[in-house]
Structures are given as C-alpha cells and as structure tokens.
Amino acid sequence: MNDNNWLNFQSFQRNQNIIESINNYLIHLSFNIKGIDDKFDKKDLLNYKEQIVSFLNTLEKLIDAAGTKDNPQTISGIDDRFQSLVQNFNQAKGKKTKFKSLLFRQRPTDVLPLFESSSQEDIKKLVKSLTELETLLEDHASEDINEILGEF
C-alpha cells in the first residue's frame, strides 16, 4: 500500500469512527424525541458525545485556517485527507440547499450547547446538524474508498 492509499485508509477509519458515534447518538436522540428509553449505557452515550464534541472542536479550530472556497490555504500539522475534509466542510457551507442546519449556517462550536439542552426544538436542531455532518463524512469516506479500491 503506497503512502497515499495509507492516508486514505486512515481517513476512512477516522471517518467511520466518528460516523459510528454520530449514528449511535442520533439513535439516542431520536428515541429521546419520542419519549422512549433507548437502553444505551450512559457511559457509551458519554463516549459518543465526547467524540463528536472533540471532532467539532477540532473542526472549529481548522476551518478558518483552511481559507475559503475561492482561496484555500494549506493547514500545517494535519494530513492531506483531513485538510480535504475541512475544505469540504467550508464548501458545504455554501451549498444552502443541501446543508441547511445550524452547523452549516454558523460554526461547529455553535452546535455544542445543543448537546446540553433538553428542549425538543434544540434536540431537533442537533439531529439535523449531526445528520448533515454524517452526510459530509460519508461523502468523504466514499472518496477514500474510491481512491483505495481504484487500483484493484
């Protein structure tokens, strides 16, 4: 496996880990909205939440460094695939018909208070934001797989 494929593989794994956390947390939130006990272990839920919050905090720090769609900048200290993900996030913010959630209308850290809210409206906003983030991550993971399997 060449270096580029290795980066794609690592990117795919990173995306899958955060997608798994988002999926599980979305299941929890969906049951919460319907007033159903989801039977998730509190420790697992906290872990999913911490992974998502950590990812959003990292994304927050990097989106400004990545520049704009018209003037992308190289971010030092991260691999090319993660930089590509950050640039994809910035580009998605301009796709207002596909990405309409609070996360893509504002900044990643603006979503963080929603994790602590018990308001049904805030929970719905969080679900929408996480669902759209999951879409972005799945699209990025798909690019990784295409690069990896393109040689076979």
* Mean pLDDT within 32-42: 89
- The pLDDT value given to residue 3: 62
Domains of the chain listed by start with CATH number: 3-149 (1.20.120)
Confidence of residue 1 (pLDDT cuts 50, 70, 90): low
- The pLDDT value given to residue 138: 92
Judge contact between 134 and 86, C-beta under 8 A.
Answer: no
Residues sharing a CB contact under 8 Å with residue 121, sequence separation 6 or more, in sequence order = none
142 to 31, 98, 133, 135: CA distances (angstroms): 28, 18, 14, 10
Confidence of residue 57 (pLDDT cuts 50, 70, 90): very high
Backbone torsions φ then ψ of 72, nearest 5 degrees: -65, 145
- The pLDDT value given to residue 128: 97
Q: Write down the pTM of the prediction.
A: 0.87
3-state secondary structure of 5: helix
